[in-house]
Each structure stands twice: as structure tokens, then as C-alpha cells.
Amino acid sequence: MKLIVGLGNPGKEYINTRHNVGFMVLDKLAQIKNFSFKKSLIFNSYIARKKSFLQEVILLKPLIWMNNSGRCVQKVVKRYDLLITRDLLVVYDDLDLELGKMRFRIEGSSAGHKGMVSIIKSLNTDKICRLRIGIGRPKDKSKDLSEYVLSNFTSEEREVLNRVFIKAVACCWDWTEKPLDFIMRNYN
């Protein structure tokens, strides 16, 4: 069983914001691979499950603030007895990557991302596969970063994102079926 977690914030006002890139990637994955999300009160998340050719895949979008998303992830990992280093992938936004870039890693620090801080703390390890999607930094250096990550993408930025989402979906799906060295070689 494989668990792919997309990070974002719940609520209609956040749907198209930069900080919800993880949710957007999972929505695109669900659309392409025919998953259907259902609200889970047990996991306080939207969850979708489907058997792939090799195994079952779970998509998870926590319905609590990103800063606390580790609690939802920990519940699912524990419930399905998943091996964190092998069975968990987290997808989220990254200010330090240029818009349209993505980077796959198998471990590392949170780099200050509050959602990853919560997950690392809840699971007591930083050996977690992650796919970071670049949102870039604001051109106006005086702009508040929290205001920036909670802002919507422009139409031009959405075009760039749509292209990276296709690549991100392929990476996520390949992660469920192929070895990590394949993912590192082909998506970084």
C-alpha cells in the first residue's frame, strides 16, 4: 500500500492559492487516474483509494490547517501500518524553487515549510519521500511571505503550473510502482 499526501489548507478561499499546490496535484492525479475523493471523519481528510496494477494507492488531503497536517498523516500511517521510508510521499509547495520546477527527495529537513515540520514531528523522522513543487518567491521582496503563499496564481502562472502538474502526476504514479533511483534519475 502506498500513501500520497497533498498539502494545502481547507476552505474555498484557499482552493487556488500557492500554498495549496499539494491539493492541486492530487486533484489532477485523481482526475487522470480516476480516483474519487470522499470525506473521512476518522482521518479528518479527503481520502481516495484505488488498486493499481501492483498495489493499493491512497490519496490524502488533510482537512485541518497545514501546520497540523502531521496529525492526519500519522493516523493513516498507523492505521495501515505503513513503512514511512517506503510507503509515504508528501507533495507540497516550495518558495525556494522557481515556478514550474519540481524536486523529488527521499529525506531532509522541512526547510521551514510548516506542513512538513508537522509531518516530520508527528512521524519522528525526516526520512520521508517528498515532491516539492516550485511556486517561486514574490518579485516584490518587501511582500509578506504568508500573504504571498495565500495569494492566487495569475493566469500565466496557471499555464506553467498545468505543465508541471502533468509531470508531477507522472512522478507520483511512478513512485508507487518503480524504484526510488528511477524516480531520482527521471524527475530531478
Q: Decide the pairing of beta strands 38-40 and 129-134.
A: unpaired
> Residue written as cell 498523516?
73
Angle at 87 between CA 43 and CA 187, to 5 degrees: 115
Enter the DSSP assignment of 58.
Answer: E
CB atoms within 10 A of CB 63: 19
46: β partners: 39, 61
What are the strands of the beta sheet with 38-40, ordered from one edge? 38-40, 45-51, 56-62, 2-6, 88-94, 129-134, 102-105
38-56 as b/e, with b when 16 or more CB fall inside 10 Å? eebeebbbbbbeeeeeeee
Catalytic positions are 19
How many angstroms separate the CA atoms of 43 and 21, rounded? 21
| Nearest C-alpha neighbor of 132 from the set 15, 3, 6 | 6
